[in-house]
Structure 1
Amino acid sequence: MADAPAFESPVVQHYPSPGAGGDLTLSDASATTKWLVRAGADGPTADRLGARFGTSQVAPGGALVLGSRPGEWIVLGTAGEVAATVADLDGLEAQEFCSVLDWTHSRAMFRVTGNDAARMLEKVCGIDWGDHMTPDGAVLSASVALTTCDLARNDSDGARSYLIFCDRSFGQYLFDALIDAGNEFGIAVRAG
């Protein structure tokens, strides 16, 4: 069987990079597997997933678990990492109601990385992006360029980095708005 072709973001293909070679990058990470888990905020599912509201952590299976709301988690990673994390919840249904929904194709996700990422986000979102308010691992919901989003600070290789999620139907608009906000910092667009 031949290997499947690599994912090429239609969002990135639509908007060529205006970047001038700075360290600020924007990438379309929408193809990342994303599942939504809902259960009691203080029950066995919450204990198993570990990430409390407003925080994130890596699950034993390797997926990133975001505590997006009380009793609600977003699980991200490769298909295998997310499946392992969700499979780890098996058996808890006898103790509490838990729902799991595959969000992979319904939510766009972008990653903004670089020293100027916080300054860029300040232009489109009224959140304090300082380390004291949004340290690495912080998870929040906010309006970004007038679009309801979930956000997580998820530093990558020592660089400040943010994940931004929105409904897929707003993906192209939000991507364009982020590029516009990052132009003064020399933002570069990267695939995946």
Structure 2
Amino acid sequence: MVDAASPQGPAFESPVVRSYPASADGDLTLADASAATKWLVRASPDGPTAERMGTAFGSSNRTPGGALVLGSRPGEWIIVGSPGEVAAAVADLDGLDAEEFMTALDWTHSRAMFRVTGAEAARMLEKVCGIDWGDHMTPDGAVLSASVALTTCDLARNDIDDTRSYLIFCDRSFGQYLFDALIDAGNEFGITVHAG
């Protein structure tokens, strides 16, 4: 039984522990979004869970309740949002076909998540990741896995108000390192940092 509404245990602490200047002259921003609720769901890529998720591998979609569902791998989805949004999305998995093996795991405390937003976001990411960030390869809604500053990450393009924006997930233990590497990559574009 999936119970996303139960307490999450200890209070969340950001993996980003250093403080940073809060202003710059560009429109590029880097924000620590690690406190967002994150769940990992794994099941058959063509079973009832996959149908309920409604999100194909390499793409993303919003649930009616507002959670963001990322098709991170075949048969694997990352669900991100507020505690209530994610709880509603995960609760929908109860009662599916008992023949299918499905797991749902609260990832909130184990994964760091950062958001890079701005017109120069793709150029910044090109400095630390060998992916083609052009619209033809990574349009809004695209989900992929790649090495970012030599760290294994899941990434999703998730534009905000027609402004290019990316979510970057990594293991919590690499959070501070990756945050610092992203700041370094964004400095030439006048990055504004929002940590913790």
Same fold, judged at TM 0.5 (above): yes
- Residue 72 (1) aligns with residue 72 (2): no
Q: Identify unmatched segments of 5+ residues in structure 2.
A: 1-11
Hey, what's the Cα distance between the residues in 1 that align with 2:129 and 2:116?
14
**Cα offset, 1:122, TM superposition:** 0.1
SS at 1:42 equivalent = coil
Deviations 1:111-157 (A, max 9, x none): 00000000000000000000000000000000000000000000012
Tell me the residue number matched to 2:6: none
**SS of residue in 1 equivalent to 2:183:** helix
1:65-144 matches, within 5 Å, as: 65-144=69-148
Distance in 2, matches of 1:121 and 1:93, equals: 41
Moved over 3 A (4+): 7-10
Going by fraction, where is helix more abundant, 1 or 2? 1
In 2, the alpha carbon distance for the partners of 1:146 and 1:10 equals: 18
Of the candidates 165, 172, 189, which is equivalent to residue 168 of structure 1?
A: 172
Aligned partners of 1:15 and 1:180: how far apart in 2?
Answer: 15
- CA separation in 2, counterparts of 1:149 and 1:10? 15
Q: Alignment partner for residue 25 of structure 2, among 21, 28, 44?
A: 21
Counterparts of 2:162 and 2:13, CA distance in 1: 26
Amino acid corresponding to residue 159 of structure 2 in structure 1: D
Tell me by how many angstroms 1:60 deviates. Answer: 1.7
Residue in 2 that maps onto 1:183: 187
3-state SS of 1:84 partner: helix
Residue 34 of structure 1 corresponds to 38
RMSD of aligned residue pairs (Cα, Å):
1.5
Counting aligned pairs with the same residue, the percent is 80
| 8 A Cα contact 2:15 2:175, kept in partner | no
What amino acid is the match of 2:35?
A: A
**Structure-2 change in CA distance of 1:109 and 1:10 (3 Å):** closer
- Following TM superposition, by how much is the alpha carbon of 1:165 offset from its aligned partner in structure 2, in angstroms? 0.3
SS in 2 for 1:94: coil
AA in 2 matched with 1:185:
F
Query: How many pairs were matched up?
Result: 185
- Measure how far apart 1:158 and its partner are: 1.6
Counterpart position of 2:54: 50
